[in-house]
Amino acid sequence: MIEFRQASNDSDAVCYRIDRVIAQGRTPWQSYLFFENEANGVCIAIDGDIQSCQRDEALYHEALVHPAMLFHPHPETVLIMGGGEGATAREVLRHGCVKRCVMVDIDGEFVEACKKYAPTWSDGAFDDPRLELLTMDINDYIRQTDLRFDVVIGDLVDVADWDGFLASLYSDDFYTALKKVLAPGAVVATQAGQLSLANQKSHKRVREGVGGAFAHLLSYGVYVPSFYSLWGYVLASDTPLDGSVSYVASAIAPRAKERGERVLEAIGAEGFVGLFALPNLLGKGW
């Protein structure tokens, strides 16, 4: 039996049985592996870390996208940083109010591999005329663009080395530079690593970086079964977030329905409320 083994923290690891290798390779930026697993369907790994699995990727991507989109009263322009699988773009474009979505991913080879080997992730998003896909460094894009965005979504890989290039994309310097492309009232969301007692370093570092640039900050999370973990995100804005959207499910559901019939399809309105109900043991002390 072939296994894919991934460290969860300094003392634990998770193993996934590889039933069939679909594709593997290395780009100038990273290594990738697509494989099938009976429990999780198609799985995508980058540099030895699982990025998402077919059976439950919607939980991760809906939690990443929809809080920022629903906290903003009428997002028309959206910037996606990373998001190579196309699932983040898929969820953004389910909001009917979106007129333009720019996706900037440095690794075009990986994006093409996702189109070929995991097409269900994007569900047609790459063919949507509202989507503009750019293969370039997000730092260069921020310096060059004249656009202003209502929502920015960071779907970048986790950081293992906090002294490297990727770590800079979670720094307060980066988010301060990002503010130059934000419209008034903009909301920013980024994935922010595990929310677990054994491994909170990444989440704390992301909070510190984002919090160094924005006045208002919220951590939230969703349990992703294939990650075997509660996964964390950070929401940020210079506009107060508390009260922007009622946390009552009955208030969330109409707004989600107004945006699009498949918004919150996997999580649901009640699940949306639960994203922000972190246990005291995990959600305190940052």
Cα(127)–Cα(224) distance, rounded to whole angstroms? 28
Cα(76)–Cα(83) distance, rounded to whole angstroms? 19
Cα(125)–Cα(103) distance, rounded to whole angstroms? 11
CA 222 to chain centre: 12
**Active-site choice (19, 155, 173, 242):** 155
* 138, two tokens: 């997000």
In angstroms, the Cα distances linking 79 to 51, 70, 76, 93 are: 20, 15, 10, 11
Taking alpha carbons only, the member of 166, 162, 227, 220 closest to residue 191 is 220
Cα(92)–Cα(125) distance, rounded to whole angstroms? 9
155 is catalytic: yes
Cα(258)–Cα(269) distance, rounded to whole angstroms? 13
Contacts of 218 (CB under 8 A, 6+ apart): 234, 235, 236, 241, 276
Supply the residues annotated as catalytic: 155
